[in-house]
Amino acid sequence: MNIATLPIATPPSERTQPAQKKIAIFIVTYNAASTLRKVLDRIPESVWDKVAEVFVFDDSSQDDTFLVGMGYKALHSKTKLSVFRNEKNLGYGGNQIRGYKYAIEQGHDIVALLHGDGQYAPEALPELLAPLEAGEADAVFGSRMMTPGGALKGGMPMYKYVGNKMLSHFENAMLGTSLSEFHSGYRLYSCKALQQIPFDKNTHEFHFDTQIIIQFHAAGLRIVEKPIPSYYGDEICHVNGMKYAKDVVKSVVDYELHELGLQHHPEYEVPPAYTMKRSALSSHTQLLELVGPPPRRVLDVGCGQGELGHMLKERGHYVYGVDWLPPRFELSGFTQADISQGIPKHIDGTFDVVLLADVLEHMTEPQKLLQDAKERLSPGGSILVSLPNAVHWSMRATVAAGRFDYANKGILDRGHLRFFTQSSAQRMFKDAGLEVASRRTTPVPWENVLPQALGSFVRDKVEKADYFLTRLRPNVFAYQHLFELRLPNS
């Protein structure tokens, strides 16, 4: 290793302290003239001192909410307080959309959502802000359900408590999450995280809160929950419970259908968090088997986060990764490069295995990358390739229905530039001077498709049945084709 690349320890006195986050508190109000003043009073002075701005968005109230806010600003000389009034009622979700856009435009790092009716305790802000200030979360939710019996003691009606529990259980089961509560309105967000999701495409109604959780989950963003007290006073509830429950269920189902590629919902067009597929018949598991016993030198081209390469390293292989961003998981070595321009020449030595896992479909000239891979092979070495099947039954059904919609991942991943069938892939390999030593198929990655509520037993049975069909009719049922390639006569 070059000595210049070694980390140098810095004495504690010389270490740079993390920059202080620019924090905003966002208060949504509607007909809150009688409660807004109390909410502002209850924000701790330590928080007032810390934050850059407290801003109120009055959603075109029919009472004097806006005037109360302006009067408070003048009476208390709160220069950090900004009060706005929407010209027309945007709805609960629409008001949040406007507020989060404002927070981003103003350059805030963190935005904390409070309700103007006083239902959520401003006194809890220091504890809720802490994970975001420390960079340990992308969102922090105040949960009324983390303290056993706390919600009921705080006055939450039994029907709301039961409904909250049932809906949260349904959402966790469908999404594979483990939140204690999906329906608290006490939320704090990293503005950088908000910029990664299309929150502006969400509903203007109350199930906005459900949709934004789904978006954070889909993007792999970190949600931390903290317990908060419950308080139910004499405020007017504007939520139609039955309609809200129906909208929540529909939002979750819409997301699942979007993930399956059966429907298109723009609010769920979220940059995906690519993860390791771990089921026994997945492409990643089969590629691990194809690499063979250690120790082998593996060149992982397009290593991504490095999870697959890291597993190979843990098994005793030497794994060198190449990609345009550094991996999150430890590899034996790494070069940062644009692989569409080929494999960098300065990488030393040859390799027993060159891994092209879900890579060639992203290349404008995949054959050029194959030629580079050939030059890196040790005698008797192999190139392992996984490619999506462009004529999978789901693609045939989509085209037959007159649709060809790109998605965040899957066969129609919007990053895919080339599409292959089994025969066209084999022609490409032949043209590159490579022979197919073995060929495998994979079923749909049902572990990432079927709702968690169905359990592993059902998912395993579905996967095995699908895999049987891929062996019977690979052109129709194979979700991906895996190829082990070798040089002729090797």
Residue showing tokens 């706390």? 150
List CB contacts of 358: < 8 A, sequence separation 6 or more.
283, 302, 386, 387, 388
Helix (H) or strand (E) holding 120: none
d(CA 430, CA 234): 75
| C-alpha neighbours within 13 Å on the C-beta side of residue 324 | 6
Q: Which residues of 262-272 are buried (b: 16+ CB within 10 A; e: fewer)?
A: eeeeebbbbeb
The secondary structure of 409-433 as a DSSP string is: SSTTBTT----B-HHHHHHHHHHTT
The DSSP letter of residue 371 is: H
d(CA 365, CA 377): 20
**CB neighbourhood size of 456 (10 A):** 11
d(CA 92, CA 18): 35
d(CA 142, CA 154): 14
Global model pTM greater than 0.85: no
Burial of 88 from C-beta contacts in 10 A (0-12 / 13-18 / 19+): exposed
**CB neighbourhood size of 152 (10 A):** 14
List CB contacts of 332: < 8 A, sequence separation 6 or more.
313, 318, 319, 320
d(CA 251, CA 51): 34
Give Cα 152 to chain centroid, integer Å.
33
Contact 393, 401 (CB under 8 A): no
Domain 18-268 has CATH 3.90.550.10: yes
d(CA 31, CA 59): 8
C-alpha R_g of the chain:
27
Burial of 1 from C-beta contacts in 10 A (0-12 / 13-18 / 19+): exposed
pLDDT one digit per residue (tens) for the chain, 490 residues: 332 332 333 343 444 445 689 999 999 999 999 999 999 999 999 999 999 999 999 999 999 999 999 999 999 999 999 999 999 999 999 999 999 999 999 999 999 999 999 989 999 999 999 999 999 999 999 999 988 887 888 788 898 889 999 999 999 988 889 999 999 999 999 999 999 999 999 999 999 999 999 999 989 899 999 999 887 655 555 677 789 999 999 999 999 888 776 778 999 988 766 666 778 899 999 999 999 999 999 999 999 989 999 999 999 999 999 999 999 899 999 999 999 999 999 998 999 999 999 999 999 999 999 999 999 999 999 999 999 999 999 999 989 989 888 877 789 888 899 999 999 999 999 999 999 999 999 999 888 777 776 778 888 899 999 999 999 999 999 999 999 999 998 7
The secondary structure of 241-308 as a DSSP string is: HHHHHHHHHHHHHHHHHHHHTSS--GGG----------STTSHHHHHHHHH-SSP-EEEEET-TTSHH
Domain 283-486 has CATH 3.40.50.150: yes
Give Cα 389 to chain centroid, integer Å.
25
Q: Where are the domains of the chain?
A: 18-268, 283-486
List beta partners, residue 111: 24, 189
Token digits of residue 386: 């996984």
